[in-house]
Amino acid sequence: MTGLDRTDPDAAIADAAKRCSNWGRWGADDVRGTMNFLTPDKRRQGAALVRRGVSFSLSQSFDMNGPQKGWRRRNNPVHTMLDTGTDAAAGIQGFPHGLGGADDMITMPLQCSTQWDGLGHIFDHGMAYNGRPAGDVVTSLGDAVTGIETVAGVIAGRAVLLDVGRAIGDGELPDAFAITTEHLQATVERQGTSSAVGRGDIVLVRTGQLARARRDGWGDYAGGPAPGLSFATAGWLHHTEIAAIATDTWGFEVRPNEFDEAFQPLHQVAIPHIGLFLGEMWDLDALAADCAADETYEFWLTAAPLPITGAVGSPVNPIAVK
């Protein structure tokens, strides 16, 4: 964390927020932030990357066996059957001529598994993205301005995997490992030209923590120590003009955070100031193995959130196609 004072997160956040602000860049009414970089041309570029037609779901499972332990009142998904085959066999569903069926429902926090953070998820000193007072944006009725539904039809295009776990480590970075801009650049250089990062790209950063959790148990995977991006990457996230970034960890940035007393300071810059969409708990392992095998790290990605009106985040089942 060269050049940063561990004892003064307030000054570091204020400086990064000023340097990396996109407020007003797309007008006072903008609600899409960095998704403005993901243009039709970028989607055509991404679609042209499909060569073999092999596809990968980048989502973890949504079930009771997930990583949540109640931190911030987050629980694992609860799946409940409303109608079943046994109901049909008992003839208690009320349908005519032998018709039977099954229905179900799910109850869960929107941030409990593979998901996007929307622009209403994090504030800085009471301010939301694009300089709006947080209280004018998100109320008990939801996010009336930058709800996740505002980008439900746009998150599809060229994506790049930066497998930092393989490039820098032995496949799995240890908890508390801070991924710097230099680590990201070294990963691009090692992987080759197909992993060059630029405007409108969706960047996926694999640390290997999810692979470790699968092997050793969830432990504190949700809410605990983790490898992740250093606060010092704020400038890189801004000047590369990427559309979004996602990782295989619960919180995107390194945990514990790099200041003596701080909680998710990179979120505090990336979401309300850069207007950057963050993905968390993505399953990148199978995709990473394929990328390493064919030495191609760019692909078509579609990752539409559920258009939940006013939501500040959404579950997602991202699909990468090579």
Does a structural domain hold residue 316?
Answer: yes
Looking at the structure, tell me whether residues 103 and 181 fall in a common domain: no
Q: How many domains does the chain have?
A: 2
Instruction: Read off the pLDDT of residues 112-126 as tens digits, 9 standing for 90 and up.
Output: 999 999 999 999 999
How does residue 3 score in pLDDT terms, banded at 50, 70 and 90? low
**243 within a domain of the structure (yes/no):** yes
CATH code of residue 154:
3.50.30.50
28 & 125 share domain: yes
pLDDT digits (tens, 9 = 90+) for 189-240: 999 999 999 999 999 999 999 999 999 999 999 999 999 999 999 999 999 9
Q: Are 92 and 214 found together in one domain?
A: no
147 & 227 share domain: yes
Inside any domain, residue 4:
no
Question: Is 202 a member of any domain?
Answer: yes
In a domain? residue 1: no
Other Cβ atoms within 10 Å of 90 Cβ, number: 10
Whole-number average pLDDT of the chain: 97
Same domain for 150 and 99 = no
Residue 248 tokens read as 């295989």
Q: What percent of the chain has pLDDT over 70?
A: 99
Are both 23 and 94 inside the same structural domain? no
* Residue 199 and residue 91 share a domain: no
Is pLDDT of 285 > 70?
Answer: yes
Residue 267 lies in a domain: yes
Residue 321: name the closest of 206, 156, 116, 152 by CA.
Answer: 156
60 with 85, same domain: the answer is no
Cα separation, 278 vs 99, whole angstroms:
45
Residues 88 and 206 in one domain: no
Which spans in the chain are helix H?
9-19, 40-47, 85-89, 134-137, 164-168, 181-191, 209-216, 234-239, 265-269, 285-294
Residue 293 lies in a domain: yes
Identify whether residues 181 and 33 lie together within a single domain.
Answer: yes
Residues 154 and 254 in one domain: yes
Looking at the structure, do residues 27 and 99 belong to the same domain, yes or no?
Answer: no
Q: Which alpha helices (H) appear in 122-219, and where do they start and end?
A: 134-137, 164-168, 181-191, 209-216
Whether residue 141 is predicted with pLDDT greater than 90 in this model: the reply is yes
The whole domain housing 87 covers 79-107
- Strand segments, DSSP code E, in 122-227 are 127-128, 132-133, 138-139, 142-143, 156-163, 178-179, 202-206
The pLDDT, as a whole number, for residue 86 is 97
Q: What is the pLDDT of residues 152-191, one digit of tens each?
A: 999 999 999 999 999 998 999 999 999 999 999 999 999 9
Q: Does residue 3 belong to any structural domain of this protein?
A: no
